Amino acid sequence: MGINTERYFNLVEEEWIPVAGTGLVSLDRIFSDSDLSALGGTPVEKVALTKLFLAIAQAAYTPENENDWAALGASGLAEKTRQYLGEKRDLFWLYGGRPFLQMPVPKIAQAEKKPIGAFLPNTPTRNTSILTQSQVKEEYNDAEKALSLVSLAGFARGGKQPDKKILLSEGYGPKSSAKPGPSLGFLGYLHSFLFGASLQETIWLNLLTLDHINDMQIYPGGIGVPPWEQMPEGEDCSVAKALKESLMGRLVPLCRFGLLNGDCLHCTEGIVHPVHKDGGVDPTITVNFTENPPKALWVNPEKRPWRELTSLLSFFNTGGSRSYDCAQLRIGVLRAREKVMYFSIWSGGIRVSSKSGEQGATGSDDYVESEILLFSDWLKTSTWFIQLQHEMDTLGAINKAVYGATNGYFKQLKVKGEKHAAMASSLFWQLCERKFQDLINACTDQTGEYTAAMRHVFVGYANRAFNTFCPWQTSRQMEAWAANRPNLGRFINNLEK
């Protein structure tokens, strides 16, 4: 092919993975250094990298059942994965005759080449203002190229960026616009993982067993073969069809077929995976299958992931609705509470929109992420979760009071108040986010003393949000302020009776 074959970069040995507090590390170090605590990078990069680590670990060793998983441990899994990477080292070259997650075939090399970032969801759509240099980055070092390829495998944005004239499977397509990556979806799926005390523990806590995969009944192809071991020959070949039905195909979806050429990428649409409405889901996304059609939790910058915690943990709700389900959390939390002292629930992703036929981050779209620390003892009874549900419902009621009071204030002044009310509501939730971990901790206290103290804090935030957007300098303003000031005493008084 003659494209970049003179360069050398092996993902097992070279430093390309961002780790918080450390910098760039290699794949080998991820599974060798137990002191590495957490990934760096954007939420999309964190999801894509964690899925890659899980795919490598599942390929190295998939436990038969929970007993096998527990006996393996984080260190045992790391050892087996290091051995796998040593044996498969030659499959992780970024360049050469068999480049990692790329298609070195003549047809792909004929596709129009564009900067790598043009295919990723944080790239602005046409007519969108450029706010940061990263949005127009056109020069990439090898580490950035490797990270972009891993992100592109599942998070490619929908639109006309891929060369639609190039097809590898006979009689397949073409379509006018490429589908978004299955890890991104229409609006941006919210992904969730368990985070352990180290990266190695994180990978171990999220590893699925053969029993889990069989019980889930959504991957008829089982674990499957990782794409670096067997790349597809086309969009609809037997290997592509197998990836659509396997866990590997959801961890590393190959939704684009690409080939590096300098700082650019020759790219066509790759494998089109089924979406959640058709039963195709990543284990890390949360879906309500009781609705018709099924309803997914999307990334929402106006509703940060911590506010979705009760939905994410609805499998604890033995006496009520359990409509939403995230297999990764359901399996992970129930096992983690028995094997580790503490862990975190991490949720994140990117919100995207469609504009002029192109998908990307525009307007208020943005990355979001949150991490919530939980102690295993809290989860061994239903008491903590029931109290958390009650307190979250109360926060919702307080927010509703703030919105209604702010809207009423402006209506009395003969001004449209919906926009101001929405901003007051948003400020209230932003203030609450600062204290959410404290609320999580307070829900463990059965006396109610700590939750009562938190209610006072949240009521104070509600008054602050109302006062911020409802001034009382003039007599008319003072009259409207006094008439519409939210009645929040009931949220405190019912705790003190």
Over residues 94-107, mean pLDDT: 94
What is the model's pLDDT at position 4? Answer: 45
What is the model's pLDDT at position 1? Answer: 43
Residue range 449-479, pLDDT digits in tens: 999 999 999 999 999 999 999 999 999 999 9
Is residue 486 over pLDDT 90?
A: yes
DSSP secondary structure of 273-301: ---GGGT---TTB-EETTSSS-EEPBP-T
Which residues, other chains included, contact 180 with Cβ-Cβ below 8 Å and sequence gap of 6+? 121, 156, 157, 158, 186, 255, 352, 359
What 3-state DSSP class applies to 32?
Answer: coil
What is the model's pLDDT at position 494? Answer: 63
Is residue 2 over pLDDT 90?
A: no
Over residues 121-139, mean pLDDT: 54
Instruction: Return the axis-axis angle of helices 66-87 and 43-60, rounded to nearest 10°.
Output: 100
Is residue 318 over pLDDT 80?
A: no
What is the model's pLDDT at position 394? Answer: 95
Q: State the DSSP code for 326.
A: -
d(CA 159, CA 352): 12
Question: In the sheet that 367-375 helps form, which strands lie side by side, from edge to edge?
Answer: 191-195, 342-350, 367-375
Residue owning tokens 């204290």: 435
What is the model's pLDDT at position 246? Answer: 96
What 3-state DSSP class applies to 192?
Answer: strand
Q: Which amino acid is at 132?
A: T
Lowest mean pLDDT among 180-194, 217-231, 399-413, 438-452: 438-452
Q: Please, which pLDDT band fits residue 332 given cuts at 50, 70 and 90?
A: very high
Is residue 173 over pLDDT 80?
A: no
Is residue 442 over pLDDT 70?
A: yes
Among left, alpha and beta (phi > 0; psi -120 to 50; other), residue 185 is left
Residue range 48-70, pLDDT digits in tens: 999 999 999 999 999 999 999 99
Which residues, other chains included, contact 106 with Cβ-Cβ below 8 Å and sequence gap of 6+? 1
> Any idea which fold 383-496 has?
Topoisomerase I; Chain A, domain 4 (1.10.132)
Average pLDDT, the chain: 91
Residue range 379-434, pLDDT digits in tens: 988 889 999 999 999 999 999 999 999 999 999 999 999 999 999 999 999 999 99
Its sign, for the CA torsion 119, 125, 126, 128, is: negative
Q: Where in the chain is the domain with CATH 1.10.132?
A: 383-496
Q: Is the pTM of this model over 0.85?
A: yes
Residue owning tokens 């494209």: 3
Q: Please, which pLDDT band fits residue 174 given cuts at 50, 70 and 90?
A: low
Provide the residue count of the chain: 497
Over residues 168-196, mean pLDDT: 88
The partner residues of 344 in beta bridges, in order of sequence, read: 195, 373
